[in-house]
Structure 1
Amino acid sequence: MSTPQIFNFEKNEVRTFLVNDEPYFVGKDVASVLGYSNTPKAIRDHVDEEDKTQNESFTVNGTALMLINESGLYSLILKSKLPNARKFKRWVTSEVLPTIRKTGSYTNVPQSFAQALRLAADLEEKNQLLEQQIAEYEPKISYLDMILSSTDTVATSQIAADYGMSAIALNKLLNELGVQHKVSGQWILYRKHMNQGYTKSHTSEIPKADGGVKVVMNTKWTQKGRVFIYNLLTAEGYYPQMDLLD
Structure 2
Amino acid sequence: MLKEIVRAQTEGFNRNPVTLDSREVAEMLEKEHWQVLRDIEGSKDGKSLGIIQVLSDNKLGVSDYFIEDSYKDTTGKNNKCYLVTKMGCEVLGNKQQGTKGILFTAKYVKKFNQMEQGILVKQLTPLEQLRLQYQVIEEHEQDIKDIKEDITNIKVNSPLFNIECDELQNAIKQKVIKMMGGKPSIAYEDRSLRGRVFADMQKEVKRQFGLKSYKAIKRGNLEKAYLIIEEYKLPYILENEITLLNNQIAM
Same fold (TM over 0.5): no
Q: Provide the TM-score with structure 2 as the length reference.
A: 0.31
Pick the structure with greater CA Rg: 2
Higher strand share: 1
Q: Provide the TM-score with structure 1 as the length reference.
A: 0.32
